[in-house]
Amino acid sequence: MATRLLHIEYNVGRTGAVTPVAHLEPVLLAGTVVKRASVHNANFIADMDLRLGDTVYIEKGGEIIPKITSVEFSKRPLDSQPIIYPHECPVCGTPLVRQEGEAAHYCPNERGCPPQIKARLEHFIQRRAMNIEGLGERTIEQLYEQGLVRTVADLYKLSYEQIFALEGFKELSTQNLLAGIDQSRQAPFEQVLFGLGIRYVGRTVADKLARHFRSIDGLAAASLEELVAVPEIGERIAQSVRDYFSNPEHCQLIEELRLAGLQLESTVADTPLESAALEGKSFVVSGVFSQWGRDEIKEVIARHGGKVVSAISAKLDYLLAGDKMGPAKRQKAEALGVPILSEDEFMRLIGKEA
């Protein structure tokens, strides 16, 4: 579907990454009106030779996300000029940086760039992190604009009077928000770790790090080699964790959260071993199983000494295949010579009757 590129908007995320978004002449595509499309980064814009006013072709990637696929150069305006990617943050004006090997540009003004600060707060309060009920994007905006909150630790310093004075808050809603903030103090360590918003540390990685190092202090003291030794923690994640804890401002934030009473140690018990039948063996689990749910079968693997990884590689020991497994994983395992186990074969492997 063809439409016209009107202008490029540059959005700043919680990590400081500056993401360009194309604004388009509205066009009907696959049943919805499309006005915006992703253009990823400066490399994408340069490689596509995108220019304002261009006629571009768009499609929905995965039938969901609109993306620009090509330019109709024959319709390009004669006076068009190449798009100059900004050298400064579009919000705070700080010079952007581009790390070696990365396509994205970043605003390094972590403490003073408003969209970064607000996005970190929104990340911290979400359901998979601290799950603070009664606190949403609109309230975060008010708290920020009134200078009440600049870091996630500031949420735990809010008073009844400060919240009650916010637009839209009455006695009950104020009490509910204070109760939600207080309840979040009981969120387990892995949720706190995820909520900190360390680059590349999603919820699954946060769970793995919390289980391995057991506390924020243990994680902060870990060397790059110790981090990389954790299953599925590569050098990029490890370096990001080291960079985070080497920043004195982040260490100060951790101490403020400690004083606020957040859980900074893991209370998850180590998985008890039933046997060593799978010791040293790695598994990718895919599909639907009759005996267990997906998470349950991963626990079974751990209880017998094995480990579950996310990607199929030549180093993988087994692909555990349930019903309705996608053909791509099977094809990749077969191409790499990775053994494929059925549920019955897996049960025999751990000494259970099928």
Helix (H, G, I), strand (E, B) or coil at 38: strand
Is residue 271 one of the residues assigned to a domain? no
| The last residue of a domain, from among 211, 227, 259 | 259
Q: Are 264 and 254 in contact (CB under 8 A)?
A: yes
Per the rule left: phi > 0, alpha: psi between -120 and 50, beta: everything else, 125 is alpha
Is residue 207 one of the residues assigned to a domain? yes
Helix (H, G, I), strand (E, B) or coil at 34: strand
Question: Can you give the pLDDT at residue 294?
Answer: 74
Is residue 9 one of the residues assigned to a domain? yes
Residues 51 and 81 in one domain: yes
Residue 80, CB-side half-sphere exposure with 13 Å CA sphere: 18
Is residue 305 one of the residues assigned to a domain? yes
Burial of 241 (0-12, 13-18, 19+ CB in 10 A): buried
| Number of other residues whose CB lies within 10 A of the CB of residue 87 | 8
Residues 208 and 171 in one domain: no
H or E element that contains 276: none
CATH number at residue 96: 2.40.50.140
Residues 1 and 103 in one domain: yes
Strands 32-38, 17-29: pairing is antiparallel
Q: Can you read off the two tokens belonging to residue 300?
A: 């079974």
Residues 193 and 182 in one domain: no
Is residue 275 one of the residues assigned to a domain? no
What is the tally of structural domains in the chain? 4
What are 135-194's pLDDT values in tens digits?
A: 999 999 999 999 999 999 999 999 999 999 999 999 999 999 999 999 999 999 999 999
Is residue 269 one of the residues assigned to a domain? no
| The last residue of a domain, from among 160, 186, 212 | 186
Residues 43 and 59 in one domain: yes
Which range of residues forms the domain containing residue 201? 189-259
Name residue, tokens 């870990």.
222
CATH number at residue 179: 1.10.150.20
Residue 301, CB-side half-sphere exposure with 13 Å CA sphere: 24
Is residue 73 one of the residues assigned to a domain? yes
Residues 303 and 333 in one domain: yes
Residues 95 and 128 in one domain: no
Per the rule left: phi > 0, alpha: psi between -120 and 50, beta: everything else, 58 is beta
**Which alpha helices (DSSP H) does 184-293 contain, by range?**
189-195, 203-213, 216-221, 224-228, 235-245, 248-259
Q: pTM for this one? A: 0.76
Residues 43 and 10 in one domain: yes
Residues 18 and 49 in one domain: yes
Residues 93 and 138 in one domain: no
Question: Can you give the pLDDT at residue 267?
Answer: 83
H or E element that contains 282: strand 282-286
Residues 137 and 211 in one domain: no
Residues 201 and 243 in one domain: yes
Is residue 267 one of the residues assigned to a domain? no
Question: Can you give the pLDDT at residue 54?
Answer: 96
CATH number at residue 335: 3.40.50.10190
What are 46-80's pLDDT values in tens digits?
A: 999 999 999 999 998 655 678 999 999 999 999 99
First to last CA, the chain: 53
| The last residue of a domain, from among 80, 107, 134 | 107
Residues of the chain with pLDDT under 50: none
What's the rounded Cα separation, in Å, for the pair 225 and 32? 49
